Amino acid sequence: MTPWSVLLFLCVAGSHAMVYDTIVVGLGSAGTTAASTLAQAGKKVLALEAMDRVGGRVNTVPFGDGLVELGAEWIHGTANSRVYETAIANNIDVVNQTLNFQILMSDGSPADTKLLSELMDFATEVIDDPPPVPEPLGQYITRRVKERINEKYPQIANDTDFIESFLFFMDLVIDNLEASNSWNDLSTFSDYEELKGHQYASWHRYGYKTFFELMLNTYNNGPGYPNLDIALNKEVSRITWPRQPAEDAVVSCSDGSVYRARSVIVTVSLGVLKERRNTLFAQPLPSEKLTAIDKMSMGVIGKIILSFPTSWWNFTDIVSLFWTKSDRNGLGDDMWMASIPGITEPKGCRNCMTLWTAGDATRMVETLPEDVVKTKSMEILRRFMGRNTNIPEPTAMLRSSWYKNPFTRGSYTYDNLLTPQYPNAREDLGKPLLDSAGNPRVLFAGEATNPQHYSTVHGASETGYREAMRLLNISSKI
């Protein structure tokens, strides 16, 4: 036997040496929850993560004088939240942010805060009062806002420039909530349910990474779980779905390694499924799952985070940037600059601020040279906040790249115009693939598979727990 054949034999033998109970693909919120739940139940689990870190679309990064979040920022809801309850159970004191709006104008003039705040509140409240026949959300809000102006503010009913600017601004606000490219890509029909309690709870100096450390038992140098193996930089390239009950599922990676298990939980994003659905699975997926992948939408949110020598600003919640029509028209090829509706102060960093983008503006920012993004960001700050303040140059800049990232291809899902025609798409996406005896062998989790709590970290965690319990309930009956 030649040295090369010995090496090949050892690699192949090592790849097949152990059969796991479950392989979890992806270590975001869903995958980490599934893996830790199964491990705590005594199952032998292998978690494969394509990136070089745990967290998925949560990414806590040391920056400035503390930590910042390049991905998910807050715990949205504190009642019946797996994320919030994990923090509290481990004596982590989260900080509630009120997110009161301070509105600034692009031409430097004082904002009519009372008028704008009332119209903003009205525009967001009508979302909870949808029309009987679904329609594009932007179209619906536009109609209701114009009715409101005619009824309560007739003095501005003919100010077409103001109304157009306000609607442009609200479009951006909605897009930054929903990750949509336009509020007219969204449907008024939605099954989304907001958890009760505070909607913007921050991990502040702990960082959102703490949630994952707590789940994996690695917080404060914890030992982890002895029956949970974690492999980073492991891009899964092929999943073979076993049809016969006696067969194992086979997971192949792009580095040539091969692993076997009784079941596989796939937690990759909808964006990745859209791109790889025909290559990731050895056998064709059921038509209803392919339809769900095709008809659902994955959006993107972006962040530009700047650090400064000191915190020169005087806001603590959110600054809303209201562009006048004439100022927008003067931007030319830099129209993306007008697609930044707000600035927040990260609770984990005292000398940092975050500029938010959504949709096409986010995709644009991800492709621009770093010095251009930094220069244009400072132009925005000085335009809106520099009239009476000498704004220093930033000491550093970070920006997200969730769309470019081949292992995310976006931030989270939203209800598009096809949702009323495919109301069960999320359930269909989450259905497991069965063997001939009806046993679930390839299971699906992730925020996109949560019918009510999609687009959230807690919603993703719920689905990971759901699929882990599906397997545990079956194994308890064997």
Say how far apart CA 32 and CA 283 lie, in whole Å. 26
Inside any domain, residue 261: yes
Regarding whether 393 and 308 lie in a shared domain, the answer is yes
- Look at residue 15 and tell me whether its pLDDT is greater than 70: no
What's the rounded mean pLDDT across residues 409-433? Answer: 98
Inside any domain, residue 90: no
Regarding whether 420 and 285 lie in a shared domain, the answer is yes
| Half-sphere exposure (Cβ direction) of 39: Cα atoms closer than 13 Å | 22
Regarding whether 186 and 137 lie in a shared domain, the answer is yes
- Look at residue 240 and tell me whether its pLDDT is greater than 90: yes
| Half-sphere exposure (Cβ direction) of 451: Cα atoms closer than 13 Å | 10
What's the rounded mean pLDDT across residues 133-160? Answer: 97
CA 463 to chain centroid:
15
Regarding whether 181 and 49 lie in a shared domain, the answer is no
Domain that holds residue 269: 3-57+204-296+416-475
Local confidence band at 268 (pLDDT 50, 70, 90 cut-offs)? very high
Residues sharing a CB contact under 8 Å with residue 396, sequence separation 6 or more, in sequence order: 63, 64, 306, 307
Predicted pLDDT at 478: 54
Question: Which of 374, 401, 428 finishes a domain?
Answer: 401
Local confidence band at 476 (pLDDT 50, 70, 90 cut-offs)? low
Q: Tell the burial category of 114 from Cβ atoms under 10 Å away from its Cβ (0-12, 13-18, 19+).
A: exposed
Q: Tell the burial category of 129 from Cβ atoms under 10 Å away from its Cβ (0-12, 13-18, 19+).
A: exposed
Exposure class string for 15-42: b at 16+ Cβ within 10 A, else e: beeeebbbbbbbbbbbbbbbbbbbbbbe
Regarding whether 319 and 382 lie in a shared domain, the answer is yes
Inside any domain, residue 314: yes
What's the rounded mean pLDDT across residues 338-364? Answer: 95
Regarding whether 188 and 170 lie in a shared domain, the answer is yes
User: Do 450 and 460 form a contact (C-beta atoms < 8 A)?
Assistant: yes
Question: Where residue 436 sits, what CATH number does that domain have?
Answer: 3.50.50.60
Inside any domain, residue 175: yes
pLDDT in tens, 176-227: 999 999 999 999 999 999 999 999 999 999 999 999 999 999 999 999 999 9
> What beta strand segments (E) does 137-257 contain?
201-202, 228-231, 236-240, 249-253
Predicted pLDDT at 317: 78
Local confidence band at 477 (pLDDT 50, 70, 90 cut-offs)? low
Regarding whether 347 and 208 lie in a shared domain, the answer is no
Inside any domain, residue 48: yes
CB atoms < 10 A from the CB of 3, how many? 7
Regarding whether 326 and 189 lie in a shared domain, the answer is yes
| Residue whose pair of structure tokens reads 């807050």 in the numeric block | 74
Order of strands, edge to edge, in the sheet holding 396-399? Answer: 101-105, 318-322, 342-344, 352-358, 301-307, 396-399
Regarding whether 383 and 252 lie in a shared domain, the answer is no
Regarding whether 164 and 35 lie in a shared domain, the answer is no
Question: Where residue 323 sits, what CATH number does that domain have?
Answer: 3.90.660.10
Inside any domain, residue 87: no
Number of folded domains that form the chain: 2
Inside any domain, residue 86: no
Predicted pLDDT at 98: 81
Regarding whether 365 and 234 lie in a shared domain, the answer is no
Local confidence band at 17 (pLDDT 50, 70, 90 cut-offs)? low
Predicted pLDDT at 12: 43
Say how far apart CA 306 and CA 403 lie, in whole Å. 20
Q: How does DSSP classify residue 90?
A: T
Inside any domain, residue 310: yes
| Residue whose pair of structure tokens reads 């997971």 in the numeric block | 251
- Look at residue 260 and tell me whether its pLDDT is greater than 60: yes
Say which residue, 379 or 16, is predicted with more confidence: 379
Predicted pLDDT at 3: 37
Q: Tell the burial category of 48 from Cβ atoms under 10 Å away from its Cβ (0-12, 13-18, 19+).
A: buried
Regarding whether 48 and 9 lie in a shared domain, the answer is yes
Question: Which of 401, 430, 460 finishes a domain?
Answer: 401
Question: Which of 340, 374, 401 finishes a domain?
Answer: 401
Say how far apart CA 186 and CA 448 lie, in whole Å. 15
What's the rounded mean pLDDT across residues 436-460? Answer: 98
Say how far apart CA 429 and CA 422 lie, in whole Å. 11
- Look at residue 355 and tell me whether its pLDDT is greater than 80: yes
User: Do 298 and 274 form a contact (C-beta atoms < 8 A)?
Assistant: yes
